[in-house]
Amino acid sequence: MSTNGTKILVGVAWPYVNGEKHIGQIAGAYLPPDIFARYERMAGNDVLMVSGSDTHGTPIMLKADAEGLTPAQVVEKYHQLFVKGCLAMGLAFDLYSHTDTQNHWDVTQKMFLRHLEAGYVYKDTQKQLYDPAAKQFLADRYVEGTCPFCGYEDARGDQCDNCGRIYDALELKNPRSKITGSTNLEVRETEHFFLDMGKLNQPLLDWINHGKEHWRPNVLNFTRGQLKLEELRGRPITRDIDWGVTIPLDGYADKRIYVWYDAVIGYLSAAVEWATLVGDQDAWRAWWDAGVNPQALIYNFIGKDNIPFHTIIWQSELMGVDGIYNGDGDNIGEHYDAPLQLPYDVPANEFMN
């Protein structure tokens, strides 16, 4: 790794480890950043390329149910297969980690507490779909139905794969349980923590409308459309499940932090983990801390279905944090004069080009 040139962090989409990856995923989300990173290294820039396996959430739990394994066994099985594939293809990651490391849990829990302290996370009750036959709430992919926006009949409980819109599962038409297949579902109240994205709607609009001429039109137009067409509102960031990052507060042992709140934090936590592994605990700051190096550039290479999570939700998380770590890289509470870096570009690949 060069110590000269521009600091460039290449953050590559974190794949769910609920199955083997196919050539389309490799060509769309993993080869382009590898080529980009190699080019920038040859140009003399200091590139840190990180990614990892997304190990939490209902996709992993559903796969575990289908294979008769525990979620941890599913993670180990498919994470190792993906690592083996990356090595075979020679992908030049500086670190390929996963979200079930103690380091990632620590960074996620610190960000959660920082958002809570700063007033960007609040607690409220929420109505959710409940399957009496399964005796559990139906989080995310445990429910499917008809998309309220485009009419796609196999839309997931948190996002439509057809039109890309994100929504609440209660907005689905004709919802059905993925566990039992039942359409005889109830609506019950449950308590959760919410990220107050409404406070950040205007800052996000200001950010997306300034200096983004180099962005791909599909990413820019989709994000602007989402922010202009609807005011952002509080989005639940916890779930009634038993697999995932625990909530670092007493009284919530039966809930976990939502996978899409914690997964995108991986771009930061992987850099922190890499710094520890190379023996320089603060090295991550050269890419992430705008108070240390405001010239650093961050690129997030993703698939087109991940656009709102990376240009709206992740930016909301970053904007809600002025600084997580203090001088010893551990505790919470010290504000920096400048925030964590926001991405310079979010290339979303629809095809190999």
Find the range with the poorest average confidence among 65-69, 315-319, 333-337. Answer: 333-337
- Helical axes 71-89 vs 58-67, angle rounded to 10°: 100
The model's pTM: 0.88
What pLDDT band is residue 157 in, cutting at 50, 70 and 90?
very high
Percent of the chain with pLDDT over 70: 92
Cβ within 8 Å of residue 52, ≥6 positions away: 14, 95, 96, 97, 98, 99, 104, 266, 270
Q: Which token pair is 351?
A: 């095809």
> In this predicted structure, what is the pLDDT of residue 148?
95
Backbone φ and ψ of 308, nearest 5°? -65, -30
CB 9 within 8 A of CB 298: yes
Whether 326 has a pLDDT exceeding 80, the answer reads no
- Of the two residues 316 and 328, the one the predictor is more confident about is 316
Could you read off the pLDDT of 126-148 as tens digits, one per residue? Answer: 999 999 999 999 988 899 999 99
Could you read off the pLDDT of 170-227 as tens digits, one per residue? Answer: 999 999 999 999 999 999 999 999 999 888 888 888 899 999 999 999 999 989 988 8
* CA 33-38-41 angle, 5° bins: 120
Mean pLDDT of 320-324: 64
What pLDDT band is residue 339 in, cutting at 50, 70 and 90?
confident
> In this predicted structure, what is the pLDDT of residue 332?
34
CB 91 within 8 A of CB 269: no
Q: Which token pair is 217?
A: 């039109």
* Start-to-end C-alpha separation, the chain: 27
What pLDDT band is residue 325 in, cutting at 50, 70 and 90?
very low
> In this predicted structure, what is the pLDDT of residue 351?
47
* CA 29-32-35 angle, 5° bins: 145
**Helix/strand/coil for 40:** helix
> In this predicted structure, what is the pLDDT of residue 251?
96
> In this predicted structure, what is the pLDDT of residue 336?
35
What pLDDT band is residue 45 in, cutting at 50, 70 and 90?
very high
Exposed e or buried b per residue across 216-241, where buried means at least 16 C-beta atoms within 10 angstroms of its C-beta: beebbebbbebbeeeebebbbbbbbb
Mean pLDDT of 216-242: 88
What pLDDT band is residue 23 in, cutting at 50, 70 and 90?
confident
> In this predicted structure, what is the pLDDT of residue 125?
96
> In this predicted structure, what is the pLDDT of residue 229?
67
Find the range with the poorest average confidence among 191-205, 270-284, 336-350. Answer: 336-350
Burial grade of 275 (CB within 10 A; 0-12, 13-18, 19 or more): buried
Mean pLDDT over each residue of the chain, to the nearest integer: 90
- Spell out the domains of the chain, with CATH numbers in brackets: 7-116+259-349 (3.40.50.620), 129-192 (2.170.220.10)
Burial grade of 352 (CB within 10 A; 0-12, 13-18, 19 or more): exposed
> In this predicted structure, what is the pLDDT of residue 101?
98
> In this predicted structure, what is the pLDDT of residue 28?
81
Could you read off the pLDDT of 64-110 as tens digits, one per residue? Answer: 999 999 999 999 999 999 999 988 999 989 999 999 999 999 999 99
Percent of the chain with pLDDT over 90: 73
